[in-house]
Structure 1
């Protein structure tokens, strides 16, 4: 059976003091301010995290506030208090409810009550989508590493010998195994994808060379697709990629 790739669960939150329940009815629904209609969300491609979404109190209609926290926190919090950061989850003294505490930056903590059964239903659905201890199987580690070393961008190539301006859409991406290299991927003339590696220094030299030449094609870099045609790629797209990748690498090292 095919597993779900995303899980959502509507959830009502009551913003009340955690000790405030109906007098003499320990197991009743917590009382307090008007409830907030929220949504719990989970994506299999980001298996370690869950999101709590609810309307922004001062924003435009439809604007949502999103709190991201560890899926394990939501699971453990059903049985015992969990979390020491900006999101905390734990059982409430009234049977059937949990306390979800959100701590905004430079603000007071906000406590909400939520139905334990709905949270448990959501948590179980995420486990069915991605079992515990198998989260790593759903992560594209090459993509994540590439994001750390530099971003992946979509670019448009023009066929160098095409008189009708034919184009092909491909990508420039950081090589996850060597930060000095760039992986170029583009469809071949028969439709299959072709990838090859070029050094960042070589691309930078081509950018500089193209900018020094004053002619119609001076703003393009000529690239030979292995076993296929020659393509032209705009200098601006290459330069933006190289600069953004360099800045990303600096940010990751800081």
Structure 2
């Protein structure tokens, strides 16, 4: 029997507001709010991360929205508050519950109560697949090195009109011109959309975005023709430009 390489766990998330998080307040189920059904997923090929999947309906179409964050948040968050970015996990005063907070790029902060026992069960199952502190043994370093030497990076882009929506894309140096960057992202129907932009222009966009006072507003906007406007975090772009620049210098020396 082959060892498991993935774990999934169904969850019921109860929406709460700030008042309901105070001691003595009943959980949102008793306040009449509708629960959200979700799934936690873990893959051995991506050993440091977990995915929280939500079903979402837009018109007649249905899709899954995915939030990715570190497995360590679920481990630490059962005992004390963990996370400083888009996702945080913390114990709740009510025994048996955790508070899961999601912050969309442009949207209202979302808070949920989730059963601690289900999270603990999921974490325990992931540890059986990949033990903690042994994640590095499951990473394909040859693939990661190939992506680095090819000046390629995986990035996540958010949709402006749908705060929970995101699409996985890539930044890559053009194989025929090191001064060009190729940006690839799937459209809403899955067809890849490709931009070619000069490295200098992308650097100008990064500089412009970094001048924004609010950290969460530091994004690059990309309009998919006839589809949606996507937000690309400026930090990911800046890191790609720095790595690819130094790699190009090493290759030219």
CA separation of 1:144 and 1:5: change in aligned 2, threshold 3 A: same
Q: Could you tell me whether the CA contact under 8 Å between 1:18 and 1:113 is conserved in 2?
A: no
Cα distance in 2 between the residues matched to 1:244 and 1:4: 43
Q: Could you tell me whether the CA contact under 8 Å between 2:77 and 2:90 is conserved in 1?
A: yes
Q: 2:11 corresponds to which residue?
A: 11
Aligned residues: 166
Give the secondary-structure state (helix, strand or coil) at the position aligned to 1:119.
Answer: helix
Q: 2:87 corresponds to which residue?
A: 87
Q: 1:133 corresponds to which residue?
A: 133
Cα distance in 2 between the residues matched to 1:46 and 1:244: 31
Give the one of 237, 242, 253 matched to 2:244. 253
Is 1:242 equivalent to 2:175 in the alignment?
Answer: yes
CA separation of 1:66 and 1:151: change in aligned 2, threshold 3 A: same
Q: Could you tell me whether the CA contact under 8 Å between 2:15 and 2:28 is conserved in 1?
A: no
Q: 1:68 corresponds to which residue?
A: 68
Q: What's the RMSD between the two structures over aligned residues?
A: 3.2
Rg bigger for which structure? 1
CA separation of 1:16 and 1:244: change in aligned 2, threshold 3 A: farther
CA offset digits 1:30-61 (Å, max 9, x no partner): 64420011000000000000000002254654
- Alignment gaps of 5+ in structure 2: 153-172, 183-198, 200-239, 246-253
Q: 2:49 corresponds to which residue?
A: 49
CA offset digits 1:145-198 (Å, max 9, x no partner): 11122289xxxxxxxxxxxxxxxxxxxxxxxxxxxxxxxxxxxxxxxxxxxxxx
- Alignment gaps of 5+ in structure 1: 153-239
Q: Write out aligned runs for 1:1-254 (5 A).
A: 2-17=2-17, 19-20=19-20, 31-56=31-56, 58=58, 61-150=61-150, 242-243=175-176, 247=181, 251=241, 252-253=243-244
Give the secondary-structure state (helix, strand or coil) at the position aligned to 2:62.
Answer: coil
Q: Could you tell me whether the CA contact under 8 Å between 2:53 and 2:65 is conserved in 1?
A: yes
User: Hey, which of these two has a bigger chunk of strand by percent?
Assistant: 2
Cα distance in 1 between the residues matched to 2:177 and 2:62: 32
C-alpha deviation, 1:18, in angstroms: 5.2
Q: Could you tell me whether the CA contact under 8 Å between 1:97 and 1:113 is conserved in 2?
A: yes
Cα distance in 2 between the residues matched to 1:12 and 1:242: 46
Q: Could you tell me whether the CA contact under 8 Å between 1:41 and 1:51 is conserved in 2?
A: yes
CA offset digits 1:69-111 (Å, max 9, x no partner): 0000111001111111000001111111111000001222100
CA separation of 1:113 and 1:76: change in aligned 2, threshold 3 A: same
